[in-house]
Amino acid sequence: MVVPAKVEAHNHLHGVWVPACAGTAQAVKRILMIDLNETHDPKRASWIDSANAPGCDFPIQNLPFGIFRPPVGEPRGGVAIGDRVLDVAAMADFLNGLSARAAADCKAPHLNRMMELGPHAWSALRRDLSRLLSTESSDWRHRIEPHLTPMADAELFRPIDVPNFTDFYASVFHATNAGRMFRPDNPLMPNYKYVPVAYHSRASSVRVSGTPVVRPKGQIKPGDAPAPFYAPCRALDYELELGIVVGVRSELGTPVPVGSAGNSIFGFCLLNDWSARDIQAWEYQPLGPFLGKNFATTISPWIVTSEALAPYHTQAYRRPEGDPAPLPYLTDSADQERGGIAIELSAYILTAKMREQGLEPFRLSHSPFATIYWTVAQMIAHHTSNGCNLEIGDLLGSGTVSGPDKSGWGSLLELSARGREPIELPSGETRGFIEDGDEIVFRGRCEREGLARIGFGECRGVVLPAN
C-alpha cells in the first residue's frame, strides 16, 4: 500500500482565488480588499456529499469548530462538515507544523487550548482541513472516514471555556424600542451614540444549545402592587444576539486599537440572552441588569470562524444625518468600510402544542446583523479602552439584534409590546411572553452572490416550569 504524503505546509501566496461571478466591478474590488483564499472558493466541493447539498449550513467553505463526543470516547474538538463531525485531533498525524499542533490541541474538552496558538495557527489548520475534505483529496477518504461521526450520533458540548461574559446593547433599533417602554419620552439615553454600552454578565450560566432553561424565580413588583413578592417570572423573554468569541488575550492596561481589534476574534456563534422582564424592570435601577439576566445564556455549539466570515463583511452601519461621529479611538476607516457583517439572524418558537400537532417552528423575526450601530471592532476597542484586559474564550454578546421594522425585532418585549399585543401562532395559541414547554430556536446564515452560503446551525432552548 502506498502511504500518502503528508499535506504540505501551505504557501500563503499559492492558490489565490478571484471571484468569477461576484457582480459589479465595485463588488469584486470590495471583496478583494479582504484576505480571501482557496478555503472561500465557492467552486471547492467536498467528497462528503451532504456538505455539497444546497442550503447546507456546513459546506466546505464554513468548517466551524465545536466540542463533540462520538458514541465511544471523550469530548473533543470537531469541525462540522455537512451532516458529519470531523475529529480534528485525529488529523494531527496527517499534518505538519503549526497546523498539526493546532489539530493536536483540539484533543481537549474546550477549544481554548487551540485558540491559544493564535490566528496563524487557526488559519493554517483551516486551510489543511479544507484541503483534506475537498474532492482534490478524495484518495484520502479511506483514512479520514473513520474519524467522521454522523452529527445525529454526536453529543455536542459548550465549545469554549468562558472566563468572562460581557453583553453589549449595540442595536440602536432595539435600544430605542426597549427604551420607549420604560421611558416613553426619552427612549435613547444621551450617551448611546457615543458609548458602545454593555454590562458585565455571568459566565457561569452559559450553556450549549439544547440545554433546558428552568423558569427563574425572583422579586417582582407589578405597577399596582404596594410591595414586591418572590414568585416565578411571568414575563420570560429571549434576546436574539450574536456571540463573539475572543481568541487573543490583551494585556491589562493596554487598549486594543479599533483598527486591529478584529484580529482578536476567533469566531462567532448564536446567543440567546434569556431575560426575565418583570424581575429586570424592578431591579435594574440604578446598577443595571442582574438576576433578570444571569440565570441562563444559551450559545450555539458551532463557532463560525472569523476567517470563514471574511467574505461576508460589508460597510459599517451608516449613521443618519445629525448623529455624532464616533470619538477618534472608535474610528477607523477600514472598519467603517468593512466592519459590518452580512449575517441574517432568525428567531423561531415551537410550543408544546405545536410539537403535538407536528408543526414546524414558527418564525418570529429575522434581523440583518449589518444594521447594528456599533461594529464588533468598536465594541472590543471600547471594552479595552480603559485598560481592561480580554482573555481567551471571553464571550461578548452583541445585544439584541433588531432591524429597523417589526419583522426584525429580536425579542418578544418588542414584538408583543411588552405583552400587550400577543402574537398569534399557527396552532391558534397566542404569546405575549414565553410559556413553559415553549422552545426558542435561533438560526443564522450568510449569503452573497458568487459565494457559498454558510450557516450557524441552531441555538435551541426549551423552557421548563420553575422549581
Question: Which one, 167 or 283, has the nearer CB to Ca ion?
Answer: 167
From 110-118, 272-280, 381-389, 429-437, span contacting Ca ion (CB under 5 A) = 272-280
Contact between 273 and Ca ion by CB under 5 A: the answer reads yes
The residue among 82 and 289 lying less far from Ca ion, judged by its C-beta, is 289
CB of 176: closest distance to Ca ion in angstroms?
15
- Which is nearer to Ca ion, 63 or 162 (by Cβ)? 162
The span from the CA of 425 to the CA of 434, in Å, is 12
The minimum distance between CB 453 and Ca ion, in angstroms, equals 27
Question: Does the protein bind Ca ion through residue 414 (CB under 5 A)?
Answer: no
Segment interacting with Ca ion, rule: CB under 5 A, options 108-116, 190-198, 235-243, 369-377: 235-243
Largest interatomic CA distance in the chain: 82
Residue number, 273 or 335, with CB nearest to Ca ion: 273
Choose the stretch contacting Ca ion; rule: CB under 5 A; options: 266-274, 276-284, 313-321, 347-355: 266-274
The answer to whether residues 177 and 239 touch, using CB atoms and an 8 Å cutoff, is no
Please, which residues bridge with residue 444 across strands? 345
- Rank residues 167 and 458 by Cβ distance to Ca ion and give the closer one: 167
Closest separation in Å from C-beta 408 to Ca ion:
16
Three-state SS for the chain is CCCCCCCCCCCCCCCCCCCCCCCCHHHHHHHHCCCCCHHHCCCCCECCHHHHCCCCCCCCCCCCEEEEECCCCCCEEEEEECCEEEECHHHHHHCCHHHHHHHHCCCCCCCHHHHCCCHHHHHHHHHHHHHHHEHHHHHHHHHHHHHEEEHHHCEEECCCCCCCEEEECCCHHHHHHHHHHHCCCCCCCCCCCCCCCEEECCCCCEEECCCCEECCEEEECCCCCCCCEEEECCCEECCEEEEEEECCCCCCCCCCCCCCHHHHEEEEEEEECCEEHHHHHHHCCCCCCCCCCCCCEEECCCEEEHHHHHHHEECCCCCCCCCCCCCHHHCCHHHHHHCEECCEEEEEEECHHHHHCCCCCEEEEEEEHHHCCCCHHHHHHHHCCCCCCCCCCCEEECCCCCCCCHHHCCCHHHHCCCCCCCEECCCCCEECCCCCCCEEEEEEEECCCCCCCEEEEEEEEEEECCC
State the nearest-atom distance from the C-beta of 434 to Ca ion, in Å: 15
Size, binding site for Ca ion by CB under 5 A? 3
Of the pair 48, 175, the CB lying nearest Ca ion is at: 175
CA angle 262, 383, 265 (to 5 degrees): 25
Report in angstroms how near the CB of residue 275 gets to Ca ion at its nearest: 7
Closer CB to Ca ion, 38 or 239, in the complex: 239
Minimum Å gap between C-beta 442 and Ca ion is 13
Backbone angles phi, psi at 333, to 5 degrees: -65, -40
Cell, residue 219 = 422579586
Least separation in angstroms between residue 65's CB and Ca ion is: 24
458 belongs to the binding site for Ca ion (CB under 5 A): no
> If binding is defined by CB under 5 A, does position 239 make contact with Ca ion?
yes
Minimum distance of Ca ion from residue 441's CB (angstroms): 18
Which of 10, 40, 110, 174 is an active site residue? 174
Q: Is 142 a catalytic residue?
A: no
Name which of residues 155 to 194 contact Ca ion (CB under 5 A). 167
Question: Closer to Ca ion at the Cβ: 121 or 395?
Answer: 395
Cβ-closest position to Ca ion: 273
- Which of these ranges, 11-19, 220-228, 231-239, 359-367, lies near Ca ion under the rule CB under 5 A? 231-239
Contacting positions for Ca ion (CB under 5 A): 167, 239, 273
Q: Which residues are catalytic?
A: 174
